[in-house]
Amino acid sequence: MVRPLVETFLPDEYPDLLVGLGDPDDAAVYRLRDDLALVATTDFFPPVVDDPYDFGAVAAANAMSDVYAMGGDVLLAINLAAFPETMDMEILSRILAGGADKVKEAGGVIAGGHTVTDREPKYGLAVIGTVHPQRVITKRGARPGDVIVLTKPLGTGVVTTALKRNQAEPEHVAAAVASMTRLNRNAAKAALGAGAHAMTDVTGYGLIGHAHEMAELSGVSIVFHAEGLPWLPGALEYSAQEIFPGGMANNYEFYKQWVEFEDGIATPVRDLLYNPETSGGLLIAVPEEGLPELLKRLESSGEHGWVIGKAIDGDGWLTFRADRRDRTL
């Protein structure tokens, strides 16, 4: 799909484009000078929760997450919105307010935007951030022996799908919203301070999809322990009821060829690993000696880190072990 673009913008002709149309990553990075680069990304989608303000905050946090996944800081953002002519404009105002408050929390500023008419509301941001060119973290830096850490629990996809079907418990929705609106800013700073080798955020391709991208680009495989995976309240329950978003089947069909599950891992757990996430946590590959520092920095900034696996020699394969007994990760 992007081949014509790659052939038009040859890497050798744009040496300051440090991350772009080549390997898939979370955002583009363009060097302005030796000590400063821009990070650029965009994302928008239809509502995943009922409350307009919460939807705006979730969409904004999700869009800005890609800047953090590259090790950058948010500078400014542009609103991207689609809205039906027949819908109350106060709803759009609340969506924009949620996004604006989240950008302000990130230390950035909303500098404008564009709205079009559409049958279904949609909202997101085009985001510009900054990063030192030598401190960019991509997906491709993981090394054998690195410990894999996740900074948010999984399951937003099934919880929000249950909400759309009027089958979600209010407390489950509240926990998912709290997770989705939490910025990855502090977690990214902790990863940088601990010397992380690679990083990405867990969003539409689910844990399996984003982990595979990191593993394949880094030239490693990853061994996960299923019992160490964190779940949002209600996630396993909804998965057992097969309340899945549409993207789950697509993720499964594409990524299953690189995944091995040991016996003893329940079907609801396996299915959840293919489920799309919204504004998920960071997946961090950190050297084993840097793990204590990472966990310390996460805790001191009010974040949490779950040790869920380890990188080994390999070629992008993901193995999920049933437990940790007599295992070395």
Same domain, 73 and 181: no
Whole-number pLDDT of residue 328: 38
- pLDDT, tens digit, for every residue of 211-223? 999 999 999 999 9
Same domain, 79 and 173: no
Domain boundary among 134, 158, 187: 134
| Rounded (10°) CA dihedral 297, 196, 181, 300 | 0
Residue 184 within any structural domain of the chain: yes
102: buried, middle or exposed (CB in 10 Å: 19+, 13-18, 0-12)? buried
CATH number assigned to the domain comprising residue 232: 3.90.650.10
Whole-number pLDDT of residue 324: 55
Residue 326 within any structural domain of the chain: no
CATH number assigned to the domain comprising residue 22: 3.30.1330.10
- pLDDT, tens digit, for every residue of 55-94? 999 999 999 999 999 999 999 999 999 999 999 999 999 9
Contact 49, 66 (CB under 8 A): no
Same domain, 146 and 114: no
Q: How many domains does the chain have?
A: 2
Domain boundary among 134, 163, 189: 134
Same domain, 247 and 231: yes
Same domain, 161 and 226: yes
Q: Is the pLDDT of residue 327 over 70?
A: no
Same domain, 120 and 148: no
Same domain, 49 and 179: no
Cross-strand pairs, 285: 148, 198
Whole-number pLDDT of residue 41: 98
- pLDDT, tens digit, for every residue of 192-202? 999 999 999 99
pLDDT (mean) for 96-117:
98
Same domain, 59 and 12: yes
Cross-strand pairs, 307: 149
Same domain, 49 and 143: no
pLDDT bin (cut points 50, 70, 90) of residue 12 is: confident
Same domain, 159 and 126: no
Residue % of the chain over a pLDDT of 70: 97
CA distance 299 to 144: 26
Is beta strand 198-201 parallel, antiparallel or unpaired with respect to 73-83? unpaired
Residue 328 within any structural domain of the chain: no
CA distance 219 to 200: 16
State pTM to two decimals: 0.95
Question: Whole domain around residue 156: which residue ranges?
Answer: 138-321
Same domain, 73 and 158: no
Longest dimension (CA), the chain: 61
Domain boundary among 111, 134, 157: 134
- pLDDT, tens digit, for every residue of 243-290? 999 999 999 999 999 999 999 999 999 999 999 999 999 999 999 999
Contact 286, 197 (CB under 8 A): yes
Residue 327 within any structural domain of the chain: no
Residue % of the chain over a pLDDT of 90: 93
Same domain, 313 and 167: yes
